[in-house]
A and B are shown apart, each in its own frame.
Chain A
Amino acid sequence: MTVKENMIAIEGLTKDFDSFRAVDNVSFNVEKGEVLGFLGPNGAGKSTTMKMLTGYLPISGGTASICGKDVTQYPLEVKSKIGYLPEGAPLYGDMTTIGFLDFIAEVRGLSGSDKQAKVDLSIEKLQLESVMNQPIETLSKGFKRRVGFAQAILHDPDILILDEPTDGLDPNQKYQVRELIKEMARDKAIIISTHILEEVEAVCSRAVIIAAGSIVFDDTPEKLKAKSTNGSLDQVFRELTHH
């Protein structure tokens, strides 16, 4: 390993659903301290790539490894290093916020005062104190998203994979979540998928654009902006992903 450690390494990653190729030969690495913005139109293969990284979907071709461990060979070790916010932040609606976070902590093998401290910390970071004892199904969309976020960062993972983390949040909440991501970026490797282009400028140190399963751009957000003739990210995005 070099000084800059590749915490996420993807090589030729491919996913086939029957005859449809959802992800085609995608390769990239993410180092510690990097926030990678994963962009692309709906259906481009962003979520599918993330699902393979987190071990939810089996890989059809290529390899993916987390902290040097192959995702397919060491599923449990890999999963314990990842904090994952799935698309739409699915949660157990019948549980209370605190009950749900306790459950996640217990499945992750935490107990006693360590569990208590970590649950408290993630509640504090996401400002969930006011809804701690409310059933999740009664919460607003913004709170639900924050509970999903709290669940992902609870065990202080090395890797964060967030599928559209700010979707459905109001501008203030978006700002909070972005600040949180920036704050955590120092000692983690983070992948965020989004189709909000301003978000890439705001938090990401690198942008990867995927269209129809293949990578069409991989560089800094500044370079992406420089490619545009009128300085708008939207226009470059359309050019790159239009086909």
Chain B
Amino acid sequence: MHNCLAIIKREVGAYFSTPLAYVFIVIFLALSGALTFFMGAFFERGQADLNSFFSFHPWLYLFLIPAISMRLWAEERKTGTVELLLTLPISTWVIVVGKFLAAWIFIAIALGLTFPLWLTVNYLGDPDNGVIVASYLGSFIMAGSYLAIGSCISATTRNQVIAFILTAVLCFLFLMSGVELVQSFFQGWAPSFMTEALASMSFLTHFNTIVRGVIDLRDIVFFSSIIGVFLYINTAVIHLTRGS
């Protein structure tokens, strides 16, 4: 446990040792604010909720999370420090989890800094704060799923740009698999259980239920499983690519 903490500490430190972290946070706050007020018509809707804020998160994450996850393993492989790390007395899965948690903590900080919006909506009206808390949790756990995918992809390459692009593509597929456009493409020929399975894998579908304020155990289990499965694959990938 103590050595997992050491990994988390180092990784969080690594984010903040470069200006990248601050740039990321500023972009995240600026974009999420702009989308909420302009695209989401926060004022015009005249409703005391943060729907116009949260509804853009799946799309924001599509570009911002790969930027956070791309360095996790690709950088270690490029500089050779992965050899140093894997010859320390610490299990590979502990390193995988430690790195993942560090990146997740970073996201939590960025997400936490959007609190002025929450204050604003409470000042302007009388929102259902339960729904807002649920939405924050939903957004956070969905970010974790994006991250787990990103961490896994990052372990497959030593090139951060490739890691970024592949992660964005894979996350996009997970995001879109429930959308009408994608579904109609399959509905013509694929059996219904396949299209349903595909739809049930969609981040968007699961996230939208949480944002509506319904914390369904199935949605939580879905996102947790995505995290678990991809971190498991991540560990396997590291074992397979050692020394190459």
Contacts and interface: CB of A to CB of B under 8 A. Distances in A.
Contact of B80 (A57, A88, A135): A88
Interface string A119-149: 0000000000000000100000000000000
A106 B3 contact: yes
Given A86-B83, A91-B81, A107 B6 contact: yes
Contact of A79 (B5, B14, B88, B242): B88
Interface string B17-43: 110000000000000000000000000
A82 interface: yes
In order of increasing CB-CB distance, the 4 nearest A-B pairs are A90-B80, A106-B6, A80-B89, A79-B89
Interface string A61-85: 0000000000000001101101010
A214 interface: no
14 contacts: A51-B83, A56-B87, A56-B242, A76-B89, A84-B87, A90-B80, A94-B17, A103-B6, A106-B3, A106-B6, A107-B3, A107-B88, A107-B89, A135-B17
B9 A103 contact: yes
B103 to A, nearest CB: 15
Contact of B10 (A82, A93, A103): A103
A135 B14 CA distance: 12
A169 interface: no
B211 interface: no
Contacts of B5: 106
Contacts of B86: 55-56
Contacts of B13: 95, 99
B18 A94 contact: yes
A92 interface: yes
A216 to B, nearest CB: 24
A108 interface: yes
A55 B88 CA distance: 9
A76 B90 CA distance: 6
B84 interface: yes
